[in-house]
Amino acid sequence: MEEARCGYPGFNISCKNNINPIVSLPDDGDYIIHNIFYQNQSFHISRAYSFDADDVCSNSIRSISIPEDRFFLPPNQVNMSLFFDCVSVSELPTSLGFYKVICDAKYGTNVTLSLYSYDDSELSYASRYCNKTVVLPAPVDLPGNETGVQGILNRGFILEWKSSKCSVCEASGGKCGFDDNSNNFKC
């Protein structure tokens, strides 16, 4: 039986169990769509499976690959960089100690860092002390109580979709649609 599809066909959105629509990002899996904002063509998504302490500390998180032909991060989102398998705390420069993620001793002496930064030189500096870098989108404005990496990642992020022709079509009195044969917008 074929899975129900909803939304723009090129967006890989499915409607499972009529609960939440799911968007599949290539190489990264399923994300739940929590809210859709038609006025600015965006939606709030989060990973279908929550991040936990093991993900944040064990080097198992991968960078998110956003298909740029369909989606983009709006200005109110920023990239959070996680640096894994870093040198021990005693070898880490003091300036990077502020970014250390608190992890259980079972993860050994290697350090995980989390930088929420626009400064490329700071990111480059941190990468010299770590073996793996992962980049994930995160909201710029966080509630005051949201400080932990796990909580920030589980809040999800906003994606905007590329389909500006739809608003022009509807403003002219047309009805926005999709041509399955050409996989393109149709007015």
The pLDDT confidence band at residue 1, using thresholds 50, 70 and 90, is very low
Better pLDDT: 174 or 7: 174
Rounded to whole angstroms, how far apart are CA atoms 176 and 16?
24
Q: Model pTM?
A: 0.77
Please choose, from the candidates 66, 63, 33, 74, the residue with its C-alpha nearest in 3D space to the C-alpha of residue 156: 33
Per-residue pLDDT at 152: 86
Tens digits of per-residue pLDDT, 59-80? 888 888 888 888 888 887 888 8
Tens digits of per-residue pLDDT, 99-134? 888 887 776 667 888 887 667 888 999 999 999 999
Contact 186, 94 (CB under 8 A): no
